[in-house]
Structures are given as C-alpha cells and as structure tokens.
C-alpha cells in the first residue's frame, strides 16, 4: 500500500494514544489482496480530504 502521509499505521506502540483520538476510519489490507490494493488510493485520498476530522 502506497501510504499517504496522512494515513496513520496503528501498531502496538501507538495504539493507546491513537484510540484516544477522534473518530477513525480503519482499513484492513494485505499486499496480496487485489481488492485491497484497488481501494488503497481511495483511502489515501480520503485521508487527505478528511485530515483533522477523523483519525
């Protein structure tokens, strides 16, 4: 997934602070998943469009 700078990748290290933030859109994907890769640019665009409104 070619992540936008606005897309936050949640890990064990940042999960606690992340869950305290605003509403979130969560995208589960895998590099081997064709439909996931099709949606990746859409998720990136939405992340930019809604920056500061959702996490």
3-state secondary structure the chain: CCCCCCCCCCCCCCHHHHCCCCCCCCCCCCCCCHHHHHHHHHHHHHHHHCECCEC
The catalytic site residues sit at: 33, 36
């Amino acid at each position: 997934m070619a992540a936008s700078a606005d897309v936050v990748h949640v890990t064990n290290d940042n999960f606690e602070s992340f869950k305290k933030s605003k509403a979130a859109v969560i995208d589960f994907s895998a590099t081997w998943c064709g439909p996931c890769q099709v949606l990746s640019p859409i998720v990136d665009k939405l992340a930019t469009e809604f920056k500061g409104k959702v996490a």
